[in-house]
Amino acid sequence: MTKPVIVTVDDDPVVSRAVARDVRRRYGDRYRVVRAGSGPAALDALREIKLRGERVAVLLADYRMPEMNGIQFLESAMDLFPLARRVLLTAYADTEAAIDAINLVDLDHYLLKPWNPPEEQLYPVIDALLDAWLATPDGDIAETRVIGHRWSAPSFAARDFLARNLVPYRYLQADDPEGERLLAAAGVDASELPVIITTDGETLVTPTETELAAHVGLSTTPTGDFYDLVVVGAGPAGLGAAVYGASEGLRTVLVEQRATGGQAGQSSRIENYLGFPDGVSGAQLTERARRQALKFGAELLTTREVVGLEPAGSSRLLRFGDGTCLATHAVVLATGVSYRMLEAPGLAELTGSGVFYGSASTEAPSCSGEEVYIVGGANSAGQAAVHFARYASRVHILIRGGDLRRSMSQYLIEQIERIGNIEVHTYVEVAGAEGAGRLERLTLRDPRSGETRTIDTSWLFIFIGAQPRTDWLEKVVHRDERGFVLTGPDLVTAGERPAGWALPRDPYYLESSVPGVFAAGDVRSESLKRVASAVGEGAMAVALVHRYLAAQ
């Protein structure tokens, strides 16, 4: 197989030779470096590379070029090589344009010129991008195909599951010529949707998530029956716990019911997370954390629902929905929270058919040229609005209160104010939804006066409230009145330890009312609902697990 290609583009011959020289010196033994002096010339080279069937790993383009600047080039190059990692070379004065490019072309990084010494300023960036590119399956070689209907809730659920688990797939409408051809070849009626055709040609008709996971390469079965640490929930807190647990020598398994990343994994852009000044999408952050956990030896189980927890001597026993169980020395509960269901007539029946909870990124391109309504005033709703504004003709944010500042970060409010097709509507709530098989109309109500109005739309995305996923822990660990897990000092009242606590010490800071069972992230009572704090608590929980195990 020919070497993958790294393309550098700069109209300044001196800079062009310098960047190509530095890149070739480090990567020339594994990659072919192609140098171009302009955007159009680079596109011509990319078309030739495409015709030869070669792959492009990284694109480095200078921002200030005549005829076609770096952002315009990277946007055009995405059509030819969508998996290639994109880097913008820029001067300090142009950093604002580079930051804007993050949303426009999903920029992976920008580098300030000069990048000397390359060992510190250039190579670490390209190393990380090449690692990410190598870990991304090539959709041109093999792809999972999903055949469904635009307004089919099961079809949406299958696509969303694959997207959130970072499984590349191609979606086909059942009434498209290719979709009809594949259904006929599989001998499946169009009423039985979705139909998934795996990379090895196997046909799955309306599969469960567990069946789908098993056929697309996701692990669903543990390799052992006893572990040092079981982490329940693969959001930021769970991923943090898995990384630190596995890297510090604990035999660790991470159990997730649906998809890694949790709510954060659905975010189109997180801009206030430490170490990512240009922002990072939830999917990118999740993928990096997942690969990091696997690198250190953690196991990751998908589509496994934990339904029970019980002490068994010095061990802790976790029971799955299929009746099997897993034993462990210690547990980290990191199940996070889910969006609260919006109680209004018609919404439940239309969920997945125009009504969605969370940022359904799979649906964003389908919103092109249409009006989208988003319910919620926290960061997740704001991030979704910015993302959908790239596709929709207009994005409407609906909030019950009079101001976003009560629940949304200031940087995000300012960003929304700069985007012309986002409109914020205060004192508005959804009173009902109607449609024949899909969302067609919403009834909106002013909570102060009770006045209502009806609007036509096919898209409603809901980001309200947060309810913990802890029903399965009832009568096992102590929870607060809202269902969040109580830990550490919150369990000690007037010097009295929780009922049933047999150890001669108080619970550790993140420890629940069951010794050896810890809680981290959003599921913990009074936690700060932010990605950075969740990751920190995941790491802290592992430190406390070590302390707990050392005392056993």
What is the DSSP code string of 297-342? T-EEEES--EEEEEEETTEEEEEETTS-EEEEEEEEE---EEPPPP
Q: Is residue 343 part of a domain?
A: no
CATH number at residue 66: 3.40.50.2300
Q: Is residue 423 part of a domain?
A: yes
pLDDT of residue 177: 87
Q: Is residue 220 part of a domain?
A: no
- Residue 269: pLDDT band (50, 70, 90) is confident
pLDDT of residue 455: 96
Structure tokens at 305: 């629902």
pTM score, whole prediction: 0.73
SS3 of residue 376 by DSSP: coil
Whether residue 313 sits in one domain with residue 251? yes
For the ranges 76-80, 242-246, 320-324, the lowest mean pLDDT is seen at 76-80
pLDDT tens by residue, 479-497 = 999 999 999 999 998 788 9
pLDDT of 247 over the 80 cut: yes
pLDDT of 97 over the 80 cut: no
- Residue 63: pLDDT band (50, 70, 90) is confident
Q: Which of 135, 170, 193 is the last residue of a domain?
A: 135
Which one is predicted more confidently, 119 or 529? 119
Rounded-to-integer distance, Cα 199 and Cα 203, Å: 10
Whether residue 440 sits in one domain with residue 358? yes
Q: Is residue 333 part of a domain?
A: yes
Whether residue 311 sits in one domain with residue 198? no
- Residue 98: pLDDT band (50, 70, 90) is low
pLDDT of residue 105: 61
pLDDT tens by residue, 106-159 = 778 878 877 888 898 889 999 999 998 988 766 455 578 899 988 888 998 998
Percent of the chain with pLDDT over 70: 95
Kindly give, in sequence order, each residue whose CB lies less than 8 Å from that of residue 18, ignoring residues fewer than 6 positions away. none
Rounded-to-integer distance, Cα 148 and Cα 146, Å: 6
Structure tokens at 68: 């076609």
pLDDT tens by residue, 222-233 = 999 999 999 999
Q: Which of 362, 373, 417, 369 is nearest to 395 (CA)?
A: 373
Q: Which of 135, 162, 187 is the last residue of a domain?
A: 135
Whether residue 151 sits in one domain with residue 82? no
Whether residue 177 sits in one domain with residue 112? no
Mean pLDDT of the 78-87 span: 87
CA distances from 40 to 43, 88, 91, 332, 492 (A): 5, 16, 22, 53, 68
Whether residue 531 sits in one domain with residue 471? yes
Percent of the chain with pLDDT over 90: 56
Rounded-to-integer distance, Cα 290 and Cα 297, Å: 11
pLDDT of 466 over the 80 cut: no
Q: What is the DSSP letter of 351?
A: B
pLDDT of residue 158: 92
Contact call for residues 500 and 477 (beta carbons, < 8 A): no
Q: Is residue 221 part of a domain?
A: no
Rounded-to-integer distance, Cα 104 and Cα 119, Å: 29
Whether residue 473 sits in one domain with residue 428? no
pLDDT of 328 over the 80 cut: yes
CATH number at residue 421: 3.50.50.60
pLDDT tens by residue, 335-389 = 998 888 899 999 999 999 999 987 666 787 888 899 999 999 988 899 899 989 9
Whether residue 155 sits in one domain with residue 117? no
- Distance separating the N- and C-terminal Cα atoms of the chain: 54
Which of 238-242, 359-363, 461-465 has the highest mean predicted lDDT (pLDDT)?
Answer: 238-242
pLDDT of 316 over the 90 cut: yes
Whether residue 329 sits in one domain with residue 180? no
Kindly give, in sequence order, each residue whose CB lies less than 8 Å from that of residue 95, ignoring residues fewer than 6 positions away. 110, 112
pLDDT tens by residue, 407-462 = 899 999 999 999 999 999 999 999 999 999 899 999 999 999 999 999 999 999 99
Contact call for residues 18 and 122 (beta carbons, < 8 A): no
Contact call for residues 463 and 375 (beta carbons, < 8 A): yes
Rounded to the nearest 5 degrees, what angle is found at the Cα of 275, between the Cα atoms of 274 and 279?
A: 85
Whether residue 98 sits in one domain with residue 36? yes
pLDDT of 13 over the 60 cut: yes
Q: Which of 462, 489, 514 is the last residue of a domain?
A: 462
Whether residue 475 sits in one domain with residue 446? no
Mean pLDDT of the 177-197 span: 86
Look at the chain and report how many structural domains it folds into. 4
Whether residue 498 sits in one domain with residue 476? yes
C-alpha torsion 544→549→551→552, nearest 10: 150
Q: Is residue 36 part of a domain?
A: yes
pLDDT of residue 77: 87
Residue holding tokens 């300012």? Answer: 414
Domain range enclosing 412: 348-462
